[in-house]
Chains A and B, each alone.
Chain A
């Protein structure tokens, strides 16, 4: 299996999109080599705007572009996009429902060595609480690519989260077609549902292999649209399996686990066990060390399933 960081796929897809959609503009806050918008910049320098280290300005400038009919992609690290840019995103992008795609990279703890100050594990929660905001978290490079195109097609604000670390391919050489609001059931099963997002989809698939070998029937769902949540697919899983394990590189408060809990709490009360970050900040280390440390591996998913069988 090959690997690629979703941020790399984001930058490549942006350039590809730029070739067919001349209304696309890209805004950046001094991280173009890291966010990979430099790939777009090298091909379309006239449509790439760097506002410097100024994330509030980044978001509101993107809003200005959108009022004139442009499809504006605004990129920086997730921490600074969702954190520092929150009010600009809420009031100047989402409140007037402008066509801005907030596409941060370096989400989650796998950012690694920069440490807890740079590891955004609250961004999906913040963005999900903004009325009308679409929140996307791709499982791999191919899904990222398709999301960039889907986001550009969609008329309104979108938050498209990508990561720094290389991510195993899930969808390469498949006929998968991403659609906003649709979760993808990667594997059917009857005992337990593992609902995962982002790079943890790969861990979920690995966990399913181990569990199946031990006779446990596992359903795996890639929930790559955190909002709007795919209610029918989640409800079906709750009805057809005994419990649900959610997996995300994000706080267990307000992200995927939170979204599924909120939904099923009202529709079909179900036992939900969450893998994610439990009310704490991250720390320095390699991305892989941190995924181990915070229990976001296939073996952790296996253990969580077995504990609750």
Chain B
């Protein structure tokens, strides 16, 4: 349970950083960053074998943020992990900053692949995982996709490739918050039944509450134990999670909170910390 208390604190810090940095840059994607904060927190602070002092370590686990617009959640996690000075978070999306609007591996240590145009990340994860198998290395590859993102056809090309090559060193998370820019995912272009789809494509599928650390950690353990198939963790999440007035509000997909809203958000998040202490 100590782990979960720590992870809650990390996720709360990540959420604070997300709203603060997006407010400061007056641009960015808060909704889908907040929905993924617990998953990313579990990956960086409990699961992945990475070393911020040696970001290019050959045998490190990899993370592919396929939904690249959720860059703030990755940046906040990397700063918290110690890849760079957290002061840098204030430069998000600013001219000259290594914290580009979407993750740029050439500019920021800890970013394993540049992402941004949706639908390509799972293929990249497969390439990394195939390379690990070829060289008999034990590192694992984690990918985070959005539920709107799976409308991209390439996702299903990659789904076939991962299953065909039995990539059990790939574990993907689907941040299933049921919102995309134009509205509810099921209204814009239905993607359900997601579990049956991934299963039919040859994946081991686990459905969890994406804000429950016990379930996230359980899924990670189950994915590691499962051999011969890649694992898709369908994480039911809430867009804007953790900030009452942002939750399930489509408008906060790509709109920065005002400074008033940010103050209110930080105030709410300070209670989360307090309750878990």
Contact = CB atoms under 8 A, between A and B. Distances in A.
A91 B127 contact: no
Contacts of A92: 113-115, 117, 120, 123-124
Contact of B120 (A52, A54, A56): A56
A270 to B, nearest CB: 37
Interface in A77-101: 87-88, 91-92, 95-97
Contacts of B114: 91-92, 95-96
Nearest to B58: A69
A59 B112 CA distance: 17
Interface stretch (A43-51, A166-174, A237-245): A43-51
Contacts of B112: 67
Report which residue of B104, B119, B127, B129 has the largest number of chain A beta carbons within 10 angstroms of its beta carbon. B127
B106 A60 contact: no
Interface in B141-183: 153-154, 157-158, 160-161, 164-165
B130 interface: yes
A233 interface: no
Interface size class, chain A: 20 to 34
Interface string B74-108: 00000000000000000000000000000011100
Interface residues of B, number: 34
A292 interface: no
B134 A60 contact: no
- Find the residue from B125, B132, B134 having the highest chain A CB count within 10 A: B134
Given A61-B126, A92-B114, A92-B124, A54 B161 contact: yes
A274 interface: no
Contacts of A97: 106
Contacts of B121: 60
Interface in A56-72: 56-57, 59-70, 72
A142 to B, nearest CB: 31
Nearest to A68: B131
B127 A72 contact: yes
A57 B158 contact: yes
A5 B125 CA distance: 35
B109 interface: no
Nearest to B141: A64
B161 A65 contact: no
A91 B105 CA distance: 12
- Mostly helix, strand, loop or mixed at chain A's interface? helix
Nearest to B154: A56
A57 B113 CA distance: 15
Contacts of B160: 52, 54
Given A52-B160, A52-B161, A69-B58, A61 B123 contact: yes
Given A54-B157, A57-B158, A66 B105 contact: no
Contacts of A63: 113, 123-124, 127
B116 interface: yes
A87 B114 CA distance: 13
A91 B120 CA distance: 9
B128 interface: yes
Contacts of A64: 113, 123-131
B116 A91 contact: yes
Contacts of B117: 87, 91-92
B118 to A, nearest CB: 10
B177 to A, nearest CB: 24
A30 to B, nearest CB: 12
Contacts of A56: 119-120, 123, 153-154, 157
Contacts of B154: 54, 56-57, 60, 88
9 contacts: A54-B154, A54-B160, A54-B161, A60-B120, A63-B123, A64-B124, A64-B125, A70-B131, A88-B123
Given A54-B161, A59-B123, 6 more contacts: A54-B160, A61-B127, A63-B124, A69-B58, A72-B127, A96-B114
